[in-house]
Each structure stands twice: as structure tokens, then as C-alpha cells.
């Protein structure tokens, strides 16, 4: 029988691997600590954990690994402040407390039998990677997978090798762009929406999953609607400061929603009226 765990109590995990993605972004693989009472680490693509860094504090981080690998948890973290810097500075064998998984996942059931368009800006590819793993593993259940990914510069691209591997598969189309290419970059330059004209899109037969900075999501959703994608077929992942992650403290309130439990993944028509009404 599965052990009953208190969502407010962190489970002990240990850093098993730290991989460098970019100069400020690292992917950490965590294994369950020996003293953990939990049975496994199952999660839905799009969900997040609260990671407790001892002596520093707790912060929400999306799970970026493969949902089929239930014995470990993978996170991709950009060092932007005190807590994220402490996380990316951890070494193999260091302890981390993990609460969760929390929140809503990408609507994988809605996507069955349809094309899926994944649109990511910067680190927004991290919470979408578990969805891509799951879709590629069960590719017969879905139509085509189109991945459109934008980053600031070539050195800010994460998961470079996997992007190449995904692009080689016959059921996928992967397009990458950067805001500033530099002399050696031979790929696309421009914001992620400039990729739309190169993508093989079937707007009325597709479900779209979008994650990135809020300003990017606004432009992307506007362009998708112009292409004829219905608002009900677009899903976005939202970010707000969090504390409890279980809908108790109100820290993450966004209009009538609590991002920690009603989100972070929302159907676009549910949050569209709020964007612009509330400060970013
Ligand atoms: C549901 C959810 C999922 C998340 N998933 C991830 C993830 O997978 N990987 C990850 O690295 N982060 C993720 N974050 C963001 C992460 O939790 C914050 O970046 C973190 O709390 C910042 O803590 P800090 O102490 O390092 O920085 P702070 O000291 O709080 O901030 C330092 C500076 O960075 C800025 N800043 C804070 N957060 C961000 C941000 N998200 N982007 C850009 N600038 C920021 C602040 O405005 C400030 O100027 C997620 C947040 C949410 C709500
Ligand atoms: S973080 Fe406490 S209600 Fe969402």
C-alpha cells in the first residue's frame, strides 16, 4: 500500500547528477534519500515540486525529466537569485527536500489523436520536456508533434542534443530560433512567432501547449488565434510566487485562481481575461 505523505513535509532526496545546460542553467537529477518513506516519484508532465534547499529556503521548480523514470526527479534551474543560485551550486551527494508534485499537468488526454504544437520560450522548455518524452514514447496515439523553441542567443539554448534527436524523428518537426544569433549561428533569428511560417501547422486539428515569459505567451496566443486555433485548444503555464503550494496561503492568487492548485497549466480562455488586468 502506498505510504500516506503530508504535502507540507519535504521528502529527503539526494543530488545524483548535475549537468550544465548554459552558463547559468543546470539540470539536477535527484534520487530518493534512504530515509524517505515515499514509494515513488510519479508525476504528470507540467507539474512542479517545492524544492527545499537547507539553510536557504524553498522554491517552486517544474519537473523536467521523463515521467516513465519514476525512481528519480529531474529539474532544470536558472540561477537568478539567492535560492536558485544555492540550488545550482549543489554537488553530487548533497541533500534537498522535495514536496509535491503539485498543480495541474498538460492535458495529454485532450491531445490524443490530434497534432500537438509545443511552443517554448527560454526555460519554458523545461516543463514541456516531460510532455515531449511521453508523446514520443506513445507516438501512435497522437498526430504530428511540432516543437517551436526560442531563446535569447545560441548559448541560452537548453537540451541541445535532445532537440537534434527529436528533430530526426519522422513524426516531429523541431524549429529553433534565437533573438541574437552572432556570427557563427546559421539558424533562424527572430522571436518564436517568426517560426510559424516554416511550421507544418494544421490549426484546427491541433492542441497547443505554450510556456515561456508572459509577454511571449501573449504574443504567441494572439498569433495562434490569428492562424485559426481556437482558444479552447491552447494551454499555457503560469508562474507566480508560491509558499504553501496547496491552495492555503493565497500567495499565488491570480484573479479567482490559485496558480499552485488550479494551475500552473490553464486553458487559455480561462486566464486570457486576466492578463493585462493584473501586474506582471
Ligand atoms: C510553477 C513554477 C515553476 C517554476 N519552474 C522553474 C523551473 O523549472 N526552473 C527555474 O529555474 N525556475 C522556475 N520557477 C521560478 C523559480 O521558482 C524562481 O526563479 C525562484 O523562486 C527565484 O528565487 P531566487 O531566490 O533564486 O530569486 P529571487 O531572489 O526571488 O529573485 C532574484 C531576481 O530574479 C528575478 N526573478 C525571479 N524569478 C524569476 C524568473 N522565474 N524568471 C526571471 N527572473 C526571475 C527577480 O525579479 C529578481 O530580480 C518556477 C516558478 C513557478 C511558480
Ligand atoms: S502557494 Fe499558497 S495558495 Fe498557492
Give φ, ψ of 179 to 5 degrees. Answer: -70, -40
CA distance 153 to 150: 9
- Cα 268 to ligand 2 centroid, rounded to whole Å: 21
Q: What share of the chain is helix, strand, coil (3-state, %, to 5)?
A: 25, 35, 40
The residue whose C-alpha atom lies closest to atom 31 belonging to ligand 1 is: 81
Supply the pLDDT for residue 279.
45
- Ligand 1: atom nearest CA of 25 is 11
- Cα 118 to ligand 1 centroid, rounded to whole Å: 22
Total number of residues shown for the chain: 280
| CA dihedral angle for residue 9, residue 14, residue 18, residue 24, rounded to 10 degrees | 30
Q: Which residue has the cell 496558480?
A: 259
Task: Tell me, using a 6 A CB cutoff, whether residue 48 lines ligand 1.
Answer: yes
CA distance 201 to 164: 20
Task: Tell me, using a 6 A CB cutoff, whether residue 243 lines ligand 1.
Answer: no
Task: Tell me, using a 6 A CB cutoff, whether residue 128 lines ligand 1.
Answer: no
- Ligand 1: atom nearest CA of 56 is 25
- Cα 49 to ligand 2 centroid, rounded to whole Å: 13
CA distance 85 to 24: 9
The residue whose C-alpha atom lies closest to atom 45 belonging to ligand 1 is: 80
Please, how many CA atoms are within 13 Å of residue 42, restricted to the half-sphere of its CB?
3
Ligand at minimal distance from the CA of 7 is 2
CA distance 31 to 12: 9
The pLDDT tens digits along the chain (280 residues) read 445 578 889 999 999 999 999 999 999 999 987 766 555 668 999 999 999 999 999 999 999 999 998 789 999 999 999 999 999 999 999 999 999 999 999 999 999 999 999 999 999 999 999 999 999 999 999 999 999 999 999 999 999 999 999 999 999 999 999 999 989 999 999 999 999 999 998 999 999 999 999 999 999 999 999 999 999 999 999 999 999 999 999 999 999 999 999 999 999 999 998 875 444 4
- For the entire predicted model, the pTM comes to 0.94
Task: Tell me, using a 6 A CB cutoff, whether residue 59 lines ligand 1.
Answer: yes
- Ligand 2: atom nearest CA of 248 is 3
- Cα 223 to ligand 1 centroid, rounded to whole Å: 27
Taking CA 67 as the corner, what is the angle to CA 64 and CA 27, rounded to the nearest 5 degrees? Answer: 25
- Cα 85 to ligand 1 centroid, rounded to whole Å: 10
Amino acid at each position: 500500500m502506498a505510504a500516506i505523505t503530508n504535502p507540507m513535509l519535504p521528502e529527503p532526496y539526494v543530488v545524483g547528477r548535475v549537468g550544465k545546460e548554459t552558463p547559468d542553467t543546470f539540470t539536477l537529477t535527484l534520487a530518493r534519500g534512504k530515509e524517505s518513506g515515499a514509494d515513488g516519484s510519479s508525476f504528470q508532465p507540467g507539474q512542479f515540486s517545492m524544492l527545499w534547499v537547507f539553510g536557504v529556503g524553498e522554491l517552486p521548480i517544474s519537473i523536467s525529466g521523463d515521467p516513465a523514470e519514476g525512481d528519480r526527479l529531474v529539474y532544470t534551474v536558472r540561477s537568478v537569485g539567492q535560492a536558485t543560485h544555492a540550488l545550482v551550486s549543489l554537488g553530487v551527494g548533497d541533500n534537498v527536500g522535495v514536496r509535491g508534485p503539485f498543480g495541474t499537468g498538460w492535458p495529454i488526454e485532450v491531445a490524443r489523436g490530434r497534432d500537438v504544437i509545443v511552443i517554448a520560450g527560454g526555460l519554458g522548455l523545461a516543463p514541456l520536456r516531460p510532455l515531449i518524452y511521453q508523446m514520443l514514447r506513445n507516438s501512435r496515439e497522437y498526430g504530428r508533434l511540432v516543437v517551436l523553441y526560442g531563446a535569447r542567443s545560441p548559448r541560452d539554448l537548453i537540451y541541445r542534443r535532445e532537440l537534434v534527436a527529436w528533430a530526426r524523428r519522422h513524426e516531429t518537426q523541431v524549429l529553433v530560433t534565437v533573438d541574437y544569433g552572432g556570427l557563427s549561428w546559421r539558424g533562424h533569428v527572430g522571436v518564436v512567432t517568426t517560426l510559424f511560417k516554416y511550421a507544418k501547422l494544421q490549426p484546427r486539428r491541433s492542441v497547443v501547449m505554450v510556456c515561456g515569459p508572459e509577454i511571449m505567451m501573449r504574443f504567441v496566443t494572439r498569433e495562434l488565434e490569428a492562424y485559426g486555433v481556437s482558444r479552447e485548444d491552447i494551454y499555457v503555464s503560469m508562474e507566480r510566487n508560491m509558499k504553501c503550494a496547496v491552495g492555503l496561503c493565497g500567495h499565488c492568487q491570480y484573479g479567482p485562481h490559485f496558480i499552485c492548485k488550479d494551475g500552473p497549466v490553464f486553458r487559455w480562455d480561462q486566464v486570457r481575461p486576466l492578463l493585462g488586468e493584473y501586474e506582471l
